[in-house]
């Protein structure tokens, strides 16, 4: 029962991550002034995937425990999320735009690789 719940949470989380990335790309493409609806969807989807990621990690700890790959992947994911939140906030304030855009893109890929490590661990038990 708990394992199927994890798969449902992962599916919802993947949808929210894709929604976050898609709206972020649309926001960047449209430029300033930011579309308020897209910007709100981007922020809500980000908050949603953070909440679901937390639920997933709690359930993983209960069902399969943590090993070195999972611990490293979680740490990298947390660092990437911190970088994404910081650089996203700076981008919305138009502070050091080029540098923060690079940081935002880099940490997005860093997060994706960490998420792949987490998913690999979950799928292989």
For residue range 17-57, list pLDDT tens digits in order: 899 889 988 988 888 788 889 889 988 998 888 888 887 77
Domain spans of the chain, in order of start:
2-124
Query: For 22-32, b where at least 16 C-beta lie within 10 A, e where not — what string?
Result: ebbeebeeeee
d(CA 39, CA 5): 30
| Cβ within 8 Å of residue 32, ≥6 positions away | 94
Range 112-120 average pLDDT: 86
Number of Cβ atoms within 10 Å of the Cβ of 36: 8
Is the pLDDT at 117 greater than 90? The verdict is: no
For residue range 46-91, list pLDDT tens digits in order: 888 888 888 777 777 777 777 888 889 889 998 998 998 898 888 8
Residue 3 — pLDDT band, cuts 50, 70, 90? Answer: low
């Amino acid at each position: 029962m708990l394992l199927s719940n994890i798969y449902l949470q992962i599916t919802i989380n993947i949808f929210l991550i894709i929604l976050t990335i898609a709206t972020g790309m649309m926001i960047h493409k449209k430029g300033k002034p930011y579309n308020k609806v897209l910007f709100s969807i981007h922020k809500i989807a980000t908050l949603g995937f953070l909440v679901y990621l937390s639920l997933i990690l709690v359930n993983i700890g209960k069902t399969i425990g943590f090993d070195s790959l999972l611990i490293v992947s979680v740490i990298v994911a947390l660092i990437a999320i911190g970088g994404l939140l910081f650089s996203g906030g700076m981008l919305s304030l138009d502070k050091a735009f080029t540098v923060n855009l690079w940081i935002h893109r880099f940490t997005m890929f860093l997060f994706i690789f960490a998420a792949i490590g987490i998913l690999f661990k979950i799928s292989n038990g």
